[in-house]
Amino acid sequence: SPWKPGLPLLLLSPQAFSTTCARCAKDRRLRRKRAISERQLTRYFVDQRRVRVVGGQGGGGGHSFHSEPRKVFGGPDGGNGGDGGHVIFKADQQMKSLSSVFPFYQGFHGERGGSKNCYGANGAHMYVKVPVGTLVKEDGRVVADLTQHGEEYIAAYGGAGGKGNRFFLSNENRAPKLFTPGEPGQERVLHLELKTTAHAGLVGFPNAGKSSLLRAISRAKPAVAAYPFTTLNPHVGIVHYQDYEQVAVADIPGLIKGAHQNRGLGTAFLKHIERCRFLLYVLDLSVPQPWTQLQDLKYELEAYEKGLSERPCVVIGNKVDLAQSRINLPLLREQVAERVIALSALTGDNLEELLLHLRELYDTYVKTEQSRGQSPVKW
């Protein structure tokens, strides 16, 4: 026995040498992922990408002659090579950024043709997932617009497989030795550009409360702080209704005067407003003359794209919980022809009116698209 007099029995217990006890074992609990700040998130949000795509090369044709007992001169039996695989862009609703798209893709090559008239296998297609709303451009020209989930675009075709010597058999040439190699795949340089697809877009100057409003009406969690340009990339929140309809609302980063001239965040995020079906102008009621914000916002949108400021909209007067806002509210309604909804994203006052009017805008959009014979965007 290994026990010696004078040693406590506790040291010889199996638990003392166990690697699964609470003291000795490693912590195997799943740790929560660390929250990513808005500035760190901008490294992962990419809305432009230059991609070089090359289709797979076709397999070469086979070169062989059939020979077996009692049939020595069986003739040529080299099969054709397989075709190379395509490179295909596929819109996926789960993708929210182009950060996972690599700068180079190549399709799989086709296999070489074999003997006994065996054809080579075709190369597998290379599928590249991109977010819904991705524009594919070549030399500044739009070649594809992926706006629906599951929509595909063949970016580069694979090369055709080569012909085996069996293909060249004829009455004049009974033993052809000619076979062709596979063709190279198509090579292109494409530019991907992401435009956020949402039903409504929150448009406003920095610190107007757009991110706080999106947090209040949806489960999106954009960064909120007291300094300007807190939001550095668009966020999309989903507003759920009792009849299972879902309205997507995009938080566009704050605009400033001269944004159409690439000032501030510039035109990098003005393009995300192009896909919004209706706009929600968020104004800060606590500043003097808040109606001037609406005029400046419409001017920037119209200068960027003609007719963009004429889309269906509603004016939201935020921060109504402040004393100065209650004074400016009647003055704003006198100066603005559009409907004004006064609310507080911080306290949640009058959010019901916004949600009801948001549903009215959505229903109008759905009826308009159906009357044109088009299918509305669903989330």
Tokens 């009621």 correspond to 285
- 179 and 234 housed in the same domain: no
Same domain, 220 and 331: yes
pLDDT tens-digit map of 269-312: 677 788 788 899 999 888 888 888 888 888 888 888 888 888 89
What is the residue range of 320's domain?
200-372
Is residue 14 situated within a structural domain? no
**367/186 Cα distance (integer angstroms):** 43
- Residue 281 — φ and ψ, nearest 5°? -80, 120
Do 55 and 183 belong to one domain? yes
pLDDT-based confidence at 204, cuts 50/70/90? confident
Q: Give the residue from 144, 170, 195 where a domain finishes.
A: 195
Q: What is the CATH number of the domain that holds 294?
A: 3.40.50.300
CATH code for the domain of 120? 2.70.210.12
Rounded to an integer, the average pLDDT of 148-173 is 90
Domain count, the chain: 2
69-79: average pLDDT: 82
Q: Alpha-carbon distance 16 to 217, whole Å?
A: 55
Do 62 and 151 sit in the same domain of this protein? Answer: yes
- 158 pLDDT above the threshold of 90: yes
Any domain includes 31: no
The helix-helix angle for 351-371 and 210-217 (nearest 10°) equals 80
Residues 102 and 127 placed together within one structural domain of the fold: yes
Q: Which two tokens stand for residue 225?
A: 């702080």
pLDDT reported for residue 305:
81
Q: Summarize pLDDT for 19-53 with one digit per residue, the tens.
A: 444 444 444 444 444 554 544 444 456 778 899 99
Q: How far apart are CA 232 and CA 42, in angstroms?
A: 7
Does some domain include residue 81? Answer: yes
Q: Could you say which of 195, 229, 245 is where a domain stops?
A: 195
Residue after which a domain boundary falls, among 174, 195, 216: 195
Q: Which residue has the tokens 């010597």?
A: 165
Q: Are residues 87 and 172 in the same domain?
A: yes
**Is the same domain home to 347 and 208?**
yes
Indicate whether 127 belongs to any domain. yes
In this structure, the answer to whether residues 250 and 365 fall within a common structural domain is yes
Q: How confident is the model over 80-120, as pLDDT tens digits?
A: 999 999 999 999 988 877 888 999 999 999 999 988 888 99
Three-state secondary structure of 329-369: HHHHHHHCCCCEEECECCCCECHHHHHHHHHHHHHHHHHHH
Write down the H helix ranges in 78-222: 210-217
Residue 207 and residue 96 share a domain:
no
**Does residue 256 fall inside a structural domain?**
yes
Q: Are residues 188 and 214 in the same domain?
A: no
**Residue 13: both structure tokens together:** 């217990």
Per-residue pLDDT at 379: 67
User: What confidence category does residue 152 fall into, taking pLDDT thresholds of 50, 70 and 90?
Assistant: very high
Instruction: Read off the DSSP letter of residue 101.
Output: -
The 3-state secondary structure of 164-186, one letter per residue: CHHHHCCCCCCCCCCCCCCCCCC
pLDDT of residue 235: 77
Residues 238 and 333 in one domain: yes
Residue 273: inside a domain, yes or no? yes
In a domain, 245, yes or no: yes
> Higher pLDDT residue, 188 or 67?
188
- Tell me if 271 is assigned to some domain: yes
- Is the model's pLDDT at 243 over the cut of 80? yes
In this structure, are 55 and 158 located in the same domain?
Answer: yes
pLDDT of amino acid 232: 56
Q: Which of 91, 99, 93, 96 is nearest to 144 (CA)?
A: 91
Bridge partners, 250 (sequence order): 201, 236
Query: What's the pLDDT score for residue 268?
Result: 58
Collapse the DSSP code of 292 into the 3-class scheme (helix H, G, I; strand E, B; otherwise coil) and give the result: helix
